Amino acid sequence: MNLYPAIDLKDGACVRLLRGDMDKATVFNNDPGAQAGEFVAAGCHWVHIVDLNGAFAGEPVNGGAVDSILSAVGDKAKTQLGGGIRTMKTVDYWLNKGITRVILGTVALRNPDFVKQACAKWPGRIAVGIDARDGYVAVEGWAETSEVTALELAQKFEDCGVTAIIFTDIDRDGAMGGPNIESTVALASAISTPVIVSGGVSSLDDLIDVAKHTDAGIDGAISGRALYDGRIDLAEAIKALS
């Protein structure tokens, strides 16, 4: 199972939010490139990047920080990037820049056909981020909750080439209360697209619990705060999961 260490970018710094609240951001590192370098040195195969400002603005904001991450990572790990990616021009820009795959979130709800067009243009390089509050999809940087369930949205992208669904339980995000394994497994079992768990991973035991469900379609888990505050040792976790 893959472990995706997270770099969430706000105003150029690596931060973690509590349940998606931009006013409750903790800065962990002012140098995103250096942080990515630490993750790579620990042996990660992926780095998960979110442009938080971009998610609210609807367009990339932390481009310089992403560039520094790409420079630090080089060819030593793969990268996935979400936040404010809502046009084909932006998709093209980041994938041509060297991002391994982009994550489409708000636009996936607003315009599912766009996701399918992006998948056709960039096979194997498009993921969909589904962030849910009480089971319903939240968009615009989690500021707005829709009337569409996570499963309903995920089913729209079956067989169109989406490489992964990144499922975040917003109420668990940054709260260190453990991931919502039950809901994630239920989602993964109902679709054919691999699912990545996000939100609430707080210990190596959490990761091991998630790894028990790979047969249900769980591809991996994203962890942020627990890595920054030392609850999870990245090198130890990668070794345990491999």
Instruction: Out of 23, 31, 113, 131, pick the active-site residue.
Output: 131
pTM: 0.92
Query: What confidence score (pLDDT) does residue 61 get?
Result: 95
**What was the pLDDT predicted at 177?**
65
Write the DSSP string, the chain.
Answer: -EEEEEEEEETTEEEEEETTEEEEEEEEES-HHHHHHHHHHTT-SEEEEEEHHHHHHTS---HHHHHHHHHHHTTSSEEEEESS--SHHHHHHHHHHT-SEEEE-HHHHH-HHHHHHHHHHSTT-EEEEEEEETTEEEETTTTEEEEEEHHHHHHTTTTTT--EEEEEEGGGTTT-S---HHHHHHHHHH-SS-EEEES---SHHHHHHHHTTGGGTEEEEEE-HHHHTTSS-HHHHHHHH-
pLDDT, position 143: 67
Residue-level pLDDT at 60: 93
Q: Would you state the pLDDT for residue 146? A: 87
173 is catalytic: no
Q: In the chain, where are the structural domains located?
A: 2-241
| CATH-assigned architecture of domain 2-241 | Alpha-Beta Barrel (3.20)
- Kindly state the percentage of the chain with pLDDT values over 70: 94
Name residues of the chain where pLDDT drops below 70.
Answer: 18-21, 141-143, 172-177
Give catalytic status of residue 131 as yes or no.
yes
Q: Which of 8, 169, 206, 219 is catalytic?
A: 8
- Note the pLDDT tens digit of each residue in 17-51: 766 567 777 889 999 999 999 999 999 999 999 99
What is the per-residue pLDDT for 73?
A: 98
